[in-house]
Amino acid sequence: MSSHEDFLLAESPNFEIRGCYERAVLVDKAAGTKSPICEMYGDPEGALIDNDERFAVVYGCGAVVCYTADGAVREISSEWIDSARQISAEEIELVYEDGSREGIKV
């Protein structure tokens, strides 16, 4: 994508994950604040927000988890990620470029 335009990656009742030119930010809708999550090579491909809004995952060239309570960020992969989904309250599944899958505890 590599655009300087702001784009929506994921949305929940209280949060948005927005991308803009190789960066992702967490938007707290109620507070009206934006907190940086990560920078990655190429634009972020996608994101998900936990069903209980405890964390968000941003993926593309790598993947990170961002905890909404304190803004802490943890890298969970440095590989190309095609998609991600939440499979339980504490686990997500990453789908890699080659089609392989991995469950990650968050």
- pLDDT tens-digit readout, 28-81: 999 999 999 999 998 999 999 999 999 999 999 999 999 999 999 999 999 999
Q: What integer pLDDT is reported at residue 34 of this predicted model?
A: 95
Spatial neighbors of 31 by CB under 8 A, at least 6 apart, are none
CA–CA separation, 72 vs 55, rounded Å? Answer: 9
The answer to whether domain 7-105 has CATH 3.30.1360.120 is: no
So what's the pLDDT on residue 5? 80
Which amino acid appears at position 105 of this protein? K
Global confidence as pTM: 0.93
